Structure 1
Amino acid sequence: MNTIATYFDAFNRNDTEAMIACLAPNVAHHVNEGKIREGTEAFRAFSAHMSRCYREELTDIVIFDAEGGTRAAAEYIVNGTYLETDEGLPEAKGQTYRLPAGSFFSLEDGKITRVVTYYNLADWVAQVS
């Protein structure tokens, strides 16, 4: 299993430490509608927040590997439940959602150095409102 597949497998098991094992220590995590988080500690804190507010499973994952192993991309469907109200977003009442999303990755020596995730926030808000 390649690094990106391992990363998504860990995501679906809600195993933050296994995800972090796929990351370089200085990873740059670009989240949709948010600031860039740098380093594995910032990634760990973000993951803890996400696990508290959302339960998500990714399906229909298609991974694209660029020649040379330094770049990759993936598209997938986020199947989720909104568990706890996230600041600035609609109130959580256990709503479910299904949202297309994508990620772009940079890799060095088999570790992810950059993760960029995109999804349509307006679509998500409409589904949970």
Structure 2
Amino acid sequence: MTRATIEAYYAAFNAGDAAAMLACVTDDIEHRVNEGAIRFGKEKFAEFCSHMGVSYRETLKDMVIFVNEDATRGAAEFVVHGEYLQTDPGLPEAKGQRYILPAGAFFDLKDGKIARVTTFYNLNDWVAQVSA
């Protein structure tokens, strides 16, 4: 179930289907991003997904998913292929810049749903790519 849940989550991400992503997470989801505050709850996660959908167009490729034996934890490694569409406050100006960025995520799962996702990428690498 862990692998299938993570696969469904990322399939929804690649399809730009925020509702399907939200269906994969618990109501009390803990969302930890590389930079910024921790978001608690499905409503805050939905706000983040909405913002990302406006500011970025991303596809995740070369996905490798790892899971533990008791289906409570998982991880994914992938490469983000993206386009920066709308300026995010505090970041460089968006002009449709394209970027390719290695990234990964760690998961806690509860009752077949994602209860925590922690995402990591190199922000300095991203800034350098969109500033070039």
Q: What is the TM-score when the length of structure 1 is the normalising length?
A: 0.99
- Give the C-alpha shift of residue 2 in structure 1: 0.5
Cα-to-partner distance string for 1:53-112 (whole Å, 9 max, x where unaligned):
100000000000111000000000000000011000000000000000000000011010
Describe the SS at the equivalent of 1:26. strand
* Cα distance in 1 between the residues matched to 2:90 and 2:52: 14
**Number of residue pairs matched?**
129
Q: What is the TM-score when the length of structure 2 is the normalising length?
A: 0.96
Describe the SS at the equivalent of 2:10. helix
Cα-to-partner distance string for 1:28-52 (whole Å, 9 max, x where unaligned):
0001111110111101100111111
* Cα distance in 2 between the residues matched to 1:116 and 1:11: 15
Superposition map of 1:10-25 within 5 A = 10-25=12-27
Describe the SS at the equivalent of 2:81. strand
Aligned residue type for 1:123? D
Aligned residue type for 1:119? Y
* Cα distance in 2 between the residues matched to 1:2 and 1:45: 24
Aligned residue type for 2:42? T
Describe the SS at the equivalent of 1:29. strand
Counterpart in 2 of 1:78? 80
Counterpart in 2 of 1:32? 34
Pairwise CA RMSD:
0.7
* Cα distance in 2 between the residues matched to 1:22 and 1:86: 26
